[in-house]
Amino acid sequence: MRNLELFVAAYEERSFTLAAAREGATQSGVSQHVRNLEVRHGVELFRREKGRVLPTPAADVFYQHCLHALRASDTAFQRLRQFSFGLTGETRLGLMPTVNAAALAPALMRFRARHPNVKVSVTEAYSAALVAQVMAGELDVAVVPAMPAVQGLRISNFMATPEVLVRAKGADAGENAGGAPVRLAGLGPLKLVLPEIANVRAQTVRSHLNAHGAQIGEVVEMNSMMATLDLIGRSDWCAILPALLMATRTYGEMFDVRPLDPPMVLQLVMVESAATALPPAAEAFCEVLRETCMGLLAEGWPAGGHRPG
């Protein structure tokens, strides 16, 4: 590359002396580098005259290609320098659709900007499957709803998100119209989409609705968040879902999203092996993810509803 840099300087300055001063070299050194190019390739690049050098047609063409080569080289080293900071290694994470829908993409972008050398692998599943993978050593950490203590696992708080009632846009809300929180007393009978009965959230939602006077009519069990939202958008079925899941502009425009009265909160926890330390990359990513989730909830409530107090 040095030959190319000195040639470009000589071409632009039309002087070996000025090129040498610009590049921190000697006049004889610049002259020798150019001469080496000419001899190696059997092409005259400059006509030497007193006090100046004049490029030949070959030099005109070579100059343009040298600019491309030097720019490509500089770009390559700039890209290399982007990987000269931050953590290294790999992290394997297990996340629920609740977290992935709105938070994963911005969190991943922020994390990559801070730690470009870390390879991030994300598995999406419901809590039971994720916990099993942590226990099997297939994941470093998983974010799931709060759960009882399990031998061999370390469980720590991640964050809390309110639960909301999600219906199709334009659903008749009766006295709950106008974006106000939905009063559960006397609400229903609801056509409710729930995860399968073995899911902790399904049992919690049923208990909360029953305890506060809401009536559950028909129930369909569905362990697919995308299918759940598709069904709600096409019909009069509804679901109780985490506000974090709905914290995207797209979902806010597609659905009627209301806080619950009295409120219901989903506590999310981090689950990891109790026998091994969480890798620094996994710990750093979870922190960025938590910041992102909290930021989404703090920015405001999905369209058509109010932020919880």
pLDDT at position 250 is: 73
Residues with pLDDT less than 50, the chain: 173-178, 302-309
In the prediction, which pLDDT does 179 show? Answer: 60
Q: CA–CA distance from 5 to each of 9, 33, 78, 188 (Å)?
A: 6, 10, 17, 77
Q: What is the pLDDT of residues 256-300, one digit of tens each?
A: 999 999 999 999 999 999 988 899 999 999 999 999 999 999 886
Residues 174-187 have pLDDT tens digits of 444 446 789 999 88
Which pLDDT belongs to residue 199? 76
What pLDDT is attached to residue 176? 45
In order of their start, the domains of the chain are 2-81 (1.10.10.10), 88-299 (3.40.190.290)
For the question of whether the overall pTM of this predicted structure is more than 0.75, the answer is no
Task: Look at phi and psi of residue 192 and say left if phi exceeds 0, alpha if psi is from -120 to 50, else beta.
Answer: beta
Q: Residue 108 has what pLDDT? A: 97
Looking at residue 175, its pLDDT comes to 45
Half-sphere exposure of 294 (CA within 13 A, CB side): 8
